[in-house]
Structure 1
Amino acid sequence: MPTHISPEVIIDGTLYTLLIFSVATWTVILFKIWEFANNSYRNRRFHAAFWDAADLAQAETVSSDAVAIGPQARIAQKGFAWLNESRLSDGKHLKYCGAPADLLEQAMLEQMQQEQHRMESGLTMLASIGSTAPFVGLFGTVLGIMHAMHEITASGSTSLDVVAGPIGDALVATAIGIAVAVPAVLAYNFFLRRVKQHRAGLENFVASFLHIVFGADGKDKE
């Protein structure tokens, strides 16, 4: 350890780093809880209104309802926008050349990937904190023990009351690192499962949308 750097500064820096990790973890957790709850609420409202529509024209107006705009509504908007642009282009643009069902599916899948990226935002941070926080705590513990050993050597006493106190204080950093990592790992696994569940629901919606637009024979019903 460099002699010009105080050990207390490094150890305190480690603890403050873990504090920042903890604040970031709980901020992401609270935000993701709100985000998934909000998406679920909006998807339920949109799903009910969309399938209660009498035809595609009415369903298109449902997808623009501000109250119900969520992942499914944005995917539907992308689908309706592609249909409208395709009709206006009348096959004059290269991007509309090919099987309409495949092209529409590709456009909607691109939007679905964007929605998945939104849902996955913040999860990398949780995974990183969950994997690094114990090592940051261990780093602080090692430095604390080294500092305690130097003080014990300087004091010239090896009695238990002299040794146990500083080493016990140093182990606090490891305990804090584990305490920070556990919620991050649990939250990451929970939200990752929620992302998979939402993605499955969006995939089912895309398949249903394609079915009502083109029907089983692949022809545009409009």
Structure 2
Amino acid sequence: MDLVPDIVDLVLYLLGVLSVVVWAIIIIKSWAWYKSQSESTDFLSEWQQTRSIYELPLLISKSESSFARLCNAGMNAMNEVMANSVLRRNERQEVILLSLKQQAYLEHKRMDGGVAVLASIGSTAPFIGLFGTVWGIMNALKTITATGSAGLDVVAGPIGEALIATAIGIATAVPAVLAYNYFMRRQKVHRADMEQVASRFQSLLTQSGVEG
């Protein structure tokens, strides 16, 4: 069996697998963001009405949002520093701030899952398709040389495979790039909201005199 067409077929199979991966990530990430948005909206609507740090435990217990987990990390850190009489006020603030930052990082990492894969596929799929195209054209030229004929019936098959490889490469890359940009925008907004929640958490601490 000739190796040349097998390589083109391998490229097509690879692109097919990458396309499935892209759409699987898009579906999974879209559902994750939809669920997160629903949970976050409910939490933030009540969060805006919170006037004391002591109201947070009840609010946190009713939510599974990333913001609730952030505040829970802050509350745990607050309880730890309040139990340590050795720490000074500024040291208590630093411990709580560090805990908030660590939890924020974990939440960002949780929502970032799969996005890098989209970026990688979006940037490489066109070149994989182009490789299949070049190989298909090489196959067509080889066939022409072997047969001494450049008729349509001789080159149509290899050229057709080459064009299909290009088309599938582009069809795989476009949704990957669009989805990557969309999820990165969502992540940017999410980061800003996390910073606002963390900032207000610290403000509630100060207003309640907990850090003193």
State whether TM-score is above 0.5: yes
What is the DSSP-based 3-state SS (H/G/I as helix, E as strand, rest coil) of the residue aligned with 1:63?
Answer: helix
The higher-RCO structure (CA 8 Å, 6+ apart) is 2
Q: Which of the numbers 62, 71, 80 marks the counterpart of 2:75?
A: 80
The answer for the alignment partner of 2:159 in structure 1 is: 167
Stretches of structure 1 that go unaligned for 5 or more consecutive residues are none
1:160/1:51 CA distance change after superposition, 3 Å: closer
Number of residues paired by the alignment? 212
Q: Give 1:49 deviation, angstroms.
A: 3.1
The answer for the alignment partner of 1:20 in structure 2 is: 17
The answer for the alignment partner of 1:60 in structure 2 is: 57
TM-score normalized by the length of structure 2:
0.91
1:5/1:153 CA distance change after superposition, 3 Å: closer
The answer for the alignment partner of 1:192 in structure 2 is: 184
Q: Is the 8 A contact 2:8 2:161 kept in 1?
A: no
What is the DSSP-based 3-state SS (H/G/I as helix, E as strand, rest coil) of the residue aligned with 1:79?
Answer: helix
Q: Which of the numbers 158, 172, 182 marks the counterpart of 2:150?
A: 158
The answer for the alignment partner of 1:220 in structure 2 is: 210
Q: Which of the numbers 119, 123, 142 marks the counterpart of 2:115?
A: 123
1:97/1:209 CA distance change after superposition, 3 Å: closer
Identical-residue share of aligned pairs (%):
40
For 2:6 and 2:147, the matched residues in 1 are separated by: 21
2:201 paired with 1:209: yes
RMSD: 2.2
Q: Is the 8 A contact 2:143 2:154 kept in 1?
A: no
The answer for the alignment partner of 1:105 in structure 2 is: 97
Read off the aligned partner of 2:23 and give its amino acid letter.
Answer: W
For 1:140 and 1:60, the matched residues in 2 are separated by: 58
Q: Is the 8 A contact 1:116 1:195 kept in 2?
A: yes
1:11-46 per-position Cα deviation (integer Å, ceiling 9, x unaligned): 111111101100110011111111111111111122
